[in-house]
Amino acid sequence: MSKIDECFAKLRAEGKKAFVPFITAGDPDLATTEALIRELASRGASICEVGIPYSDPIADGPVIQASYTRALDAGVKLADIFAMLKRASAEVDIPLLTMVSYSIVLRHGPQQYVDDAVAAGVSGLIVPDLPVDESSALASICRKADLGLVHLVTPTTPKERAVRIARASTGFLYYVSVAGITGERRELPAELVENVRWLAAQTDVPVCIGFGISTPEHVRQLSPVADGLIVGSAIVRRVGESGAGEATVKAVGEYVAELLAAYA
């Protein structure tokens, strides 16, 4: 059983749902990223997603794109990110996942990327631009390393394909709440709850909802339906507005506490 599996098994036994924050590695610097991981874990995050900066993210909105640009402009390197994750994973008990473009995995070498991720204490990968039909090689490497490989389903994914993706995903399944790019939204689609309930009935893998979740009201609406909620842009925006330092870490922690207080 992977660390992600253990996390969800514990949550289910306690009747709780996962809170999964996303932050960008190296925005504004790796010291702040490491401090944010510690803060998020101490506030009650179940899992933490760490985005590996990439120059051409296909599904990310302007907030996360800008954070990637800031990190790349600051010269962040993959080796330094793994070193930071190794330090962070030794200090927190929650699973850490990297959200990474497949082009980076390929350039690094899939086996080498997985080996380095495991050595850094990473528990899983999210590779949003890797189609499930082309994922068998990486899935095999991840499976041997007991590393989760999380796939994504969107509202426009045909149902037959959604079932195939759900059955291929390990750790959890990432349900994209809206068609389009990441970013905060005032309202979420009316059909979202029905779509997630249908998808959850097709798989034993936990289903987590991401894209657009940013308010306590969103949390109250969706936490009874999904196994977990993913919050990215709203956190990344606060980091971008505040910059480096303890004030940024504290501001993010207080925001996360507001969201966690809204869990049913």
Catalytically annotated residue among 5, 27, 39, 49: 49
Contact 223, 263 (CB under 8 A): yes
80 as an active site residue: the answer is: no
Catalytically annotated residue among 5, 29, 39, 60: 60
Helices (H), the chain: 3-13, 30-43, 62-73, 78-91, 102-108, 110-119, 136-144, 159-168, 192-200, 216-222, 233-242, 246-261
Contact 210, 174 (CB under 8 A): yes
**In this structure, what token pair is assigned to residue 119?**
């050595």
Contacts of residues 245-253 at CB distance under 8 Å and 24 or more positions apart, as own/partner, are 245/32, 246/35, 248/28, 248/32, 248/36, 249/32, 249/35, 249/36, 249/39, 250/39, 252/36, 252/39, 252/40, 253/39, 253/40, 253/42, 253/43
134 as an active site residue: the answer is: no
DSSP letter string over 151-206?
-EE-TTS-HHHHHHHHHH--S-EEEESSSS-----SS--TTHHHHHHHHHTT-SS-
**In this structure, what token pair is assigned to residue 70?**
């800031």
Please give the positions annotated as active site.
49, 60
